[in-house]
Structure 1
């Protein structure tokens, strides 16, 4: 069929890249030098690790490699299946609780918008800033992979959209989930390049624009299709929820082992794979631009005459492409080593869910410090959102061992990912040797990413140059 030709396979991702590039440049015009990066809210610093960096990184990569070797010795398919099939039923929340959650989600969104417009306080003195960056991005997002995905009940955009008329226009199937990939890239680009962490008015404008665009999309295409294929938040939380120990099975709430739902997570094609890889990348880039080596590199590039926006945008799009190409190369290596009739695309699709625990572990390591340090700030400002204290309290500092805890989160995410990939391989291949060899590529990617993410987490926070006054 024509839709299966090389032209159609490559046109959609290229079109998505073109749209992303165009809108990113548009968002960057006039941004100038501004306090933009949410890392500026961290309020906490880290000391460098006390051992040589090369030894520290090799040790982290070695841990993941050894975990792959140990998992390879687990060849009993019944044991692997028993681990992932373990479930315990729990009382399922009723309609009343679901309705209260929906009303609460709309209330939080409305309060955030109102306070962002009415209250002139900036930075952490404004409740809108704290709700978005501390309570939601730092705390709530973590809850979706640590506990379970409650976004279907809390989602204020869906609650409102379901009460609006819909034109129910057919969604273009050729677009697939590529719009959600573009939207995710744009959201994180706006977070990095615009002063959303300091300017509550601008943050409210972006949140309002997102609300309008989402509601307009649901009116045109219907709520189900919009939140399934286009909305990046719903898609990200749905995937993160597969990592969590709580999930809904056959309409009932069940307790399961963390990550045990991932081997049976179904992804559609290249677009879904690209979304998972992009979810991993944007979290990494958000941390990478707040490191000293990036500051030195981009300063050198700007000194050589490269405009700051070109340096940031070039690294952003090139990094996203490299992450995807590296993962695709890993799938190709796995196919070659396993000597299987399954295509590279099929292997990439099946193994992609194993990357989600890595994204979750890194997100937790990158944001937990902000939540703890600014938790007292959020409580004090939330108590009087329209007249916040001039100097709201915050945690004085984190103990020295906290940096080790952050690194442990990164490693734990990778260890879960190795086991998930092992379970997926044994579900795919009848031969034990094929199952082990099929993991060579994805394990190599995990080892490399372990070393990269450990390095980023261990680096002291440095305000990104040309984005901070």
Structure 2
């Protein structure tokens, strides 16, 4: 048997144990559904950890200490120009061409139609959305150097029309919500042709926007993927500086992000995008739970079309997330006894949510990435050996990491919110009180996230 066929066999063995290949991270949640303690105790403990971390943070009232904790940094070395300007763009273009070639090739018989054997599916869902995104909040945002659509747009003539300030980040909000809804409702994981079509359509739209409004304005303000990756990169302990790469405290980039008046959070759309980033991954995980399946089937039984059920839950869920966050901003103004506007409070305290989004993304997709990459690596390194039985214990191990990732993301968020409060308010007690509502929202997000990752995975109905 050839090495390639052994690799595919190894992938198939673990998938048989972990579940079907879906963008919903089936391997992860299916592995964490057998808790040895009551679910209510598990969830309340997680919420209590976040609450306790806030209480501990309140003891840090020395402004100089809080400021030093997120201002600390150290320069390492410059990134070679050849990596930024040649290797990165080349890797991105090769990846895009592989996705299109193997995706559309499945329609003509030139590439496998089975998603577990098609390179387009593996590159997009395993290599890119699961594996690559994990690096963003660990080592920083490298997407500007890799983005193939940015590379293509740079060599095309630009109309250089002025990007309307009144629009702000709202195109990115709409784009992110559309991308996630398409990912959930269309067979992008099961059908390589549909996946390649979606990639091509997105590429045409984003390159067209960059040609009209310019590369910098479009990708910094309107492109949902570039904006999401920029936000994830701000969580990382590594950051690109003017003279190289620097090391900083995890989440320090979020504190500085909140203090920039002309940055990505300068308008209400920027705040809505942060909330959408948290909501989108939550929704993606929720539709794979038994609770959603039961509710959706009950509603469908009275005659509501399946697509309408998903769209209705999507819009209502996002509106609820925005409403809860706006409530927190209004409550913060009352408890903090401040004249700072509600919109300003919403803008200042939005960055901590990105740490939550990063932690939940890792929890949601780590198992999906590991379940496919490790069997393949083992088969390539030991092509004559059968798939290792040890791979079958991975789901439990990954489930533990998932829970840890959710909690760590929320703990970082609590500390970032604490640092932002002390930057914003002159009085120490006022800075603490202003955080009450936002911490309450974080505890609610923690409980919801832990509940989702603790659920056994089921196939979403009507898809």
TM-score normalised by length of structure 2: 0.88
What is the number of residues matched between the two proteins? 426
For residues 388 and 227 of structure 2, what CA distance do their matches in structure 1 show?
35
Offset, 1:261: 1.5
For residues 176 and 442 of structure 2, what CA distance do their matches in structure 1 show?
22
- 2:451 is matched with which residue? 455
> Residue by residue, what CA displacement relative to the aligned partner does 1:129-179 show, whole Å, maximum 9, x if unpaired?
011111101011111001111011111111111000011112222111100
Offset, 1:396: 3.5
For residues 359 and 227 of structure 1, what CA distance do their matches in structure 2 show?
21
Q: SS in structure 1 opposite 2:161?
A: coil
Offset, 1:368: 0.6
Offset, 1:249: 2.6
Q: 1:405 aligns with which of 396, 401, 404?
A: 401
- 1:355 is matched with which residue? 353
Offset, 1:214: 1.2
Q: 2:79 aligns with which of 93, 100, 104?
A: 93
Q: 1:115 aligns with which of 102, 105, 121?
A: 102
Q: 1:208 aligns with which of 191, 200, 213?
A: 200
Q: Which runs of 4+ in 1 moved over 6 A?
A: 380-383, 391-394
Offset, 1:283: 0.4
Question: Does structure 2 conserve the Cα–Cα contact (< 8 Å) formed by 1:123 and 1:200?
Answer: yes
Question: Does structure 2 conserve the Cα–Cα contact (< 8 Å) formed by 1:40 and 1:197?
Answer: no
Q: SS in structure 2 opposite 1:248?
A: strand
Offset, 1:49: 1.3
- 1:23 is matched with which residue? none
> Residue by residue, what CA displacement relative to the aligned partner does 1:22-74 show, whole Å, maximum 9, x if unpaired?
xxxxxxxxxxxxx9951266385333211111111111111111111110010
- 1:130 is matched with which residue? 122
Q: 1:273 aligns with which of 245, 260, 271?
A: 271
The 5 A counterparts of 1:417-428 are: 417-428=413-424
For residues 67 and 462 of structure 1, what CA distance do their matches in structure 2 show?
34
- The answer to whether 1:39 aligns with 2:34 is no
After superposing the two structures, state which structure 1 stretch, 371-380 or 163-172, moved more: 371-380
- 2:305 is matched with which residue? 307
- 2:281 is matched with which residue? 283
- 2:4 is matched with which residue? none
Question: Does structure 1 conserve the Cα–Cα contact (< 8 Å) formed by 2:278 and 2:353?
Answer: yes
Question: Does structure 1 conserve the Cα–Cα contact (< 8 Å) formed by 2:27 and 2:395?
Answer: no
Q: SS in structure 2 opposite 1:461?
A: coil
Q: SS in structure 2 opposite 1:244?
A: coil
Q: SS in structure 2 opposite 1:422?
A: helix
- 1:198 is matched with which residue? 190
For residues 194 and 377 of structure 1, what CA distance do their matches in structure 2 show?
27
- The answer to whether 1:82 aligns with 2:74 is no
- The answer to whether 1:166 aligns with 2:151 is no
- 1:184 is matched with which residue? 176
- 1:243 is matched with which residue? 235
For residues 393 and 238 of structure 1, what CA distance do their matches in structure 2 show?
38
> Residue by residue, what CA displacement relative to the aligned partner does 1:1-23 show, whole Å, maximum 9, x if unpaired?
xxxxxxxxxxxxxxxxxxxxxxx
Offset, 1:123: 1.3
- 1:305–1:36 Cα change, 3 Å: farther
Question: Does structure 2 conserve the Cα–Cα contact (< 8 Å) formed by 1:180 and 1:231?
Answer: yes
Q: 1:148 aligns with which of 140, 143, 163?
A: 140
For residues 392 and 313 of structure 1, what CA distance do their matches in structure 2 show?
41
Two-structure CA RMSD over aligned residues (Å): 2.1
Question: Does structure 1 conserve the Cα–Cα contact (< 8 Å) formed by 2:22 and 2:189?
Answer: yes
For residues 252 and 410 of structure 1, what CA distance do their matches in structure 2 show?
31
Offset, 1:378: 5.6
- 2:392 is matched with which residue? 396
Offset, 1:418: 0.2
- 2:337 is matched with which residue? 339
- Structure 2: tracts of 5 or more residues without a match: 1-19, 106-110
Offset, 1:116: 1.3
For residues 395 and 128 of structure 2, what CA distance do their matches in structure 1 show?
24
- 1:399–1:319 Cα change, 3 Å: closer
- 1:321 is matched with which residue? 319
Question: Does structure 1 conserve the Cα–Cα contact (< 8 Å) formed by 2:99 and 2:120?
Answer: yes
Offset, 1:452: 0.5
- 1:62 is matched with which residue? 48
Question: Does structure 2 conserve the Cα–Cα contact (< 8 Å) formed by 1:37 and 1:191?
Answer: no
- Structure 1: tracts of 5 or more residues without a match: 1-34, 384-390
Offset, 1:101: 1.1
Q: SS in structure 2 opposite 1:254?
A: strand
- 1:276–1:381 Cα change, 3 Å: farther
